[in-house]
Amino acid sequence: MKQKRFIAIPFIVATLAFTFIVIDQLLSPLLPPEGNKGYGWIAFQAWAVYFLAGANVKGGFKALLGYGTGIVMTILIFELAGKLGNTGFFAVPIAAFVLVSMVIFVEKAPPLDFIPAIFIGAGAMVCFLSYIEGATYSHAAIVILLYTLIGLIYGYITVLLRVAYEKGGT
């Protein structure tokens, strides 16, 4: 592709970002908890993860499974930490040690072997539960998975549009 034709690609991606932000502004007020300030950050992470996963549908599916696994892992860490409550300061670190060591074993078990998505999903869950007032496990899981799916779809659309544009001429 000639350099002058490349100029349109950033505008294609920017248009996708524009449309997603509009969708987030319309969708987030309908989602729990009430008064949230939007969840676009989750979709933008997942959009990037789509490319880290190989920029294809199979990788996107693995990314979605990874996010789901990370969500479950986080819930289990929080619950185990609650049961270890008498260890105080070390409750969460001990729970994380136990569950993270178990999660790393899935590195050898496709399609759950996309470990970066597991950790990004877990990070999104921790962030959601820590910084969104009134959040519950179910709120967080539903919203994170919904926005992850949206981000992965936007990754797919990005590839689709770019390939179509690049095939359109030299």
152/36 Cα distance (integer angstroms)? 22
Asked if residue 170 has pLDDT above 80, the reply is no
Which three-class secondary structure state does DSSP give residue 112? coil
Q: Rounded to the nearest 5°, which phi and psi values hold at 28?
A: -60, -35
169 has pLDDT over 60: no
Using the CB atoms, write b or e for 56-78: b if 16+ within 10 Å.
eeebbebbbbbbbbbbbbbbbbb
Residue 125 has pLDDT above 80, yes or no: yes
Burial class (CB in 10 A: 0-12, 13-18, 19+), 99: buried
Above 60 in pLDDT, residue 17? yes
Q: What is the mean pLDDT of residues 86-108?
A: 91
Decide if 12 contacts 161 (C-beta within 8 A).
yes
Question: What is the spatial distance between Cα 40 and Cα 37, in angstroms, rounded to a whole number?
Answer: 9
Residue 42 has pLDDT above 90, yes or no: yes
Q: Take residue 5 and report the two structure tokens written for it.
A: 């034709």
Share of the chain above pLDDT 90, in %: 78
The confidence band for 156, taking pLDDT boundaries of 50, 70 and 90, is very high
pTM of the model: 0.91
**Tokens read off for 164:** 């179509």
Q: How confident is the model at residue 1 (pLDDT cuts 50, 70, 90)?
A: low
